[in-house]
Structure 1
Amino acid sequence: MKKILSLVLIAVVTLALAACGKKDDKTITVGASPAPHAEILEKAKPILEKKGYDLKIKKINDYTTPNKLLDKGEIDANFFQHTPYLKKESEDKGYKIESAGDVHLEPMAVYSKKYKKLKDLPDGAIIYVSNNPAEQGRFLKFFVDEGLIKLKKGVKIQDATFKDITENKKHLKFNHQQSAEYLPKIYQNQDADAVIINSNFAIDQKLSPKKDSIALEKPENNPYSNLVAVQKGHKDDKKVKELMKALQSKEIKDFINKKYDGAVVPAK
């Protein structure tokens, strides 16, 4: 009799756990930066609800916690970073996480009160950029694309540094002593020939990356597109695929274009 009761109890517990598993399979918990990431996820909620999924958004206002939580399995995914950052974090901290796909780009832009195009910059022009070493390649890409500078052969743009410049046709000088938040003030004071400013700081100063810049990052094949990250081996999970389908849908792309007016653009 005791053996029968034990078997029944095991069966009940097994069914309960299976039921919980099924319920969890329909829940997607994503750690995200408040804006624009969490805002975009909020817009995706009803899309996922139609598919039977409950999207839970955990707002995290720093760049270190989301990957820690994901690596521990405390969230299903995170949404705040681009590929170079994910790569560096994984190398430095041994995280077993990977990209499930790109969603949007927060484009950097070049601003100038003196010139209308990058090619108009004079010989010896001074370009102010932030002191973030992880984005030196990002700054240089503007000038590589315009044919104004060349880099060492074999160097990927996201890994490039100022030391990798092999040809500088206009002898451009890059001042990288300032923090990113001070760059809009340098631009407003006309203290430079050109300034490269992150979108969030540009918007804070009422600058439109789309309308006020002389060069704007392109979303095509851009390594700095913001992605959704998941634990390795889970990017093909059904609920992850449904999440990405929603975030890469026309509805979300239209929302991004309308709400952010060029300060955030859909990834391509």
Structure 2
Amino acid sequence: MKKILNVLLAALFILVITACGTNDEENDTASENAGENTAETEGTEETEEPVEIKVGATSVPHAEVLEQAKPLLAEEGIELVVEEYQDYILPNQDLSDGRIDANYFQHIPYFNSEVEEKGYDFVNLGSIHVEPMAVYSQNITSVDDIPEGTEVIISRSVADHGRILALFESQGLITLDADVEKVDATVNDIVENPLNLTFSPDFDAAFLPEAYDKEEDALVAINTNYAIEAGLSIAEDSLFVEGEDSPYPNIIAARAEDENNESLLKLVEVLQSEEIQNYIIETYNGEVVPVSESN
């Protein structure tokens, strides 16, 4: 009997040892699996942060166009932050001071004049669209009916003067000195003015729609972005408008040190893409024209 009991105890001891070994192996395996899962989880969580670029823009159409570009840039790992402005002065000042990475509001002659006059170390990264300049009047409904001595209200920005004067010359209202490049023309370069039009550069561009509302008998040359904001339509409200061959595309400007910045170059690429160009065409009905359409 004692012998049988010893055999049973030995068998029981072997079973206990085997069970413990199995549990240890299972625990080791579980620990290894947990470690692998943790490593995989940590690897998944270590995704790259998107690159942020801050771009200054006037509200219409520039900021609206940039909003359309946001999801396309997000797919490229770029987070676009749009800083809106209501004037033409601060966007370049803030770009120079490093408060923004680029801006989108100005045409090439204005860009060149700002660089020359203020010494900004900027580069033009690419053209995006053209906003045709137009002339409006409350009471004058035809070029043929413009009275002698009519006041012409224009922006005080000298960079716009050549553009406006060339527009008046295209209508046969004035003649400019043939020896002066139209883009550089000023009121002093008018050699023929049969109607004795008076050109008054007394307003910041943002206040030209207000001048249009108040000066009912005047002609007012309004930058298209401000005309759109004021609810004016080139097709329905303007007296005459710049042609499709306008040499005044709006650009993306950046500091010279960022000339090869990959994120900013990707911004230009997206803004020149077919998707964004189609958005511009469909949204602005000819009041804003993509670069490919204007060339």
Q: Does 1:241 align with 2:269?
A: no
Q: CA shift at 1:263, angstroms?
A: 3.6
Give the alignment's Cα RMSD to 1 decimal.
Answer: 3.0
Quote the sequence identity (%). 37
Identify which range, 135-144 or 60-69, moves more after superposition.
60-69
Does the 8 Å contact 1:183/1:197 carry over to 2? no
Corresponding residue for residue 84 of structure 1:
109
TM-score by length of structure 2 reads: 0.69
Q: CA shift at 1:28, angstroms?
A: 2.6
Counterpart of 1:241, as a letter, is: L
Structure 1 residues 61 and 205, CA gap change in structure 2 (3 angstroms): closer
Q: CA shift at 1:177, angstroms?
A: 6.1
Give the whole-Å Cα distance in 2 for the aligned partners of 1:203 and 1:76: 26
Q: CA shift at 1:123, angstroms?
A: 7.4
Give the whole-Å Cα distance in 2 for the aligned partners of 1:100 and 1:251: 19
TM-score by length of structure 1 reads: 0.75
Structure 1 residues 100 and 131, CA gap change in structure 2 (3 angstroms): closer
Q: CA shift at 1:208, angstroms?
A: 0.9
Higher share in helix: 2
Corresponding residue for residue 18 of structure 1:
none
Counterpart of 1:38, as a letter, is: A
Aligned counterpart for 2:213 among listed residues 167, 173, 185: 185
Q: How does 1:81-230 map to 2 (within 5 A)?
A: 81-112=106-137, 113-116=139-142, 118=143, 120-121=144-145, 124=148, 126-130=150-154, 132-134=156-158, 135-168=160-193, 170-176=194-200, 179=203, 180-186=208-214, 189=216, 191-192=217-218, 194-203=219-228, 205-223=230-248, 225-230=249-254
Structure 1 residues 128 and 146, CA gap change in structure 2 (3 angstroms): closer
**Unmatched tracts of structure 2, length 5 or more:** 1-47
Give the whole-Å Cα distance in 1 for the aligned partners of 2:121 and 2:246: 24
Write the deviation string for residues 100-127 of structure 1: whole angstroms up to 9, x where unpaired. Answer: 12222333212354444x4x35673625
Give the whole-Å Cα distance in 2 for the aligned partners of 1:218 and 1:99: 24
Does the 8 Å contact 1:38/1:57 carry over to 2? yes
Give the whole-Å Cα distance in 2 for the aligned partners of 1:201 and 1:242: 28
Corresponding residue for residue 16 of structure 1:
none
Write the deviation string for residues 10-41 of structure 1: whole angstroms up to 9, x where unpaired. Answer: xxxxxxxxxxxx967x4332122233222111
Corresponding residue for residue 259 of structure 1:
283
Identify which range, 158-167 or 227-236, moves more after superposition.
227-236
Corresponding residue for residue 232 of structure 1:
256
Larger radius of gyration: 2
Give the whole-Å Cα distance in 1 for the aligned partners of 2:92 and 2:272: 22
Give the whole-Å Cα distance in 2 for the aligned partners of 1:186 and 1:152: 32
Structure 1 residues 234 and 155, CA gap change in structure 2 (3 angstroms): farther
Q: Size of the alignment, in residue pairs?
A: 240
Counterpart of 2:84, as a letter, is: K
